[in-house]
Amino acid sequence: MQNRIKKVRMRAGLSCAALARELGYRPDTLGRIERGERGLRTELAIKIAEVCNCSVDELIGADLTSAAMPVLPDDPTDPLPIVGKQVLGVGVVMTSTGATIPRPAIMAGISDAYGFDVPNDLMAPRYFAGEVLLVDPTRAAKPGDFVIVGRQIDGQELGTVHRLTDLDDSTATLVTISAPEHAVDMPTDTLARLDVVVGSLIGR
């Protein structure tokens, strides 16, 4: 998502770290939102506009092209189901937790979209416990994407989060995002899913 957080905070004389402190966010988290790697929620856009003394329209770039995603309220009438949380050895059980969140605007109209509950801090500094990853299973995965990888192990589908670095008809090359990072090759015919992470939310 395109936004103008950097422009308005610099005009206000604030570093990313200083703005993050004002908002109660981690600097790396705000940095990812600023770069468009994570969705900008309405409540946060309003807070940034107040701190930086600008309008929300200016912050989100109301004059940007139609390809820019607008900041819209969450949709409580079409909740997003949450999967995960229960950790079993090498992954998270890919079943519904029964919990839902109001569907973020970034997920509007995506069939079978879901949230992946990050269970612990093993994926830090990319993702932290309590975050919900927004997952689009309809999007074709491409190198560079962060993906939910599902594999059948002992009769259950277990999910893990990786960065996809290469993909062909027979093999997916994935990099773990827990320290220390390392690359693994997985035959595509052994994967139950390779769903694209399109953003994340802090808490619920």
Q: What is the pLDDT of residue 65?
A: 34
Question: Is the CB of residue 118 less than 8 Å from the CB of residue 177?
Answer: no
- Give residue 1's pLDDT: 47
Query: Which pLDDT tens digit goes with each residue over 53-67?
Result: 988 878 876 543 333
Q: At 149, is the pLDDT very low, low, confident or very high (cuts 50, 70, 90)?
A: very high
The answer, yes or no, to whether residue 148 has pLDDT greater than 80, is yes
Structural domains of the chain in order of their starting residue, each with its CATH number: 5-60 (1.10.260.40), 75-202 (2.10.109.10)
Provide mean pLDDT across the span 22-47: 80
Is the model's pLDDT at 68 over the cut of 50?
no
Q: How far apart are CA 59 and CA 30, in angstroms?
A: 14
pLDDT band at 114 (very low <50, low <70, confident <90, very high): very high
Higher pLDDT, 164 or 3: 164
Taking the whole predicted model, whether its pTM rises above 0.85 is answered as no
Residue 122, pLDDT score: 77
Q: What is the mean pLDDT of the chain?
A: 81
Please report which residue ranges of the chain form alpha helices under DSSP H. Answer: 5-11, 16-23, 27-34, 42-52, 56-60
In the chain, the amino acid numbered 70 is: P
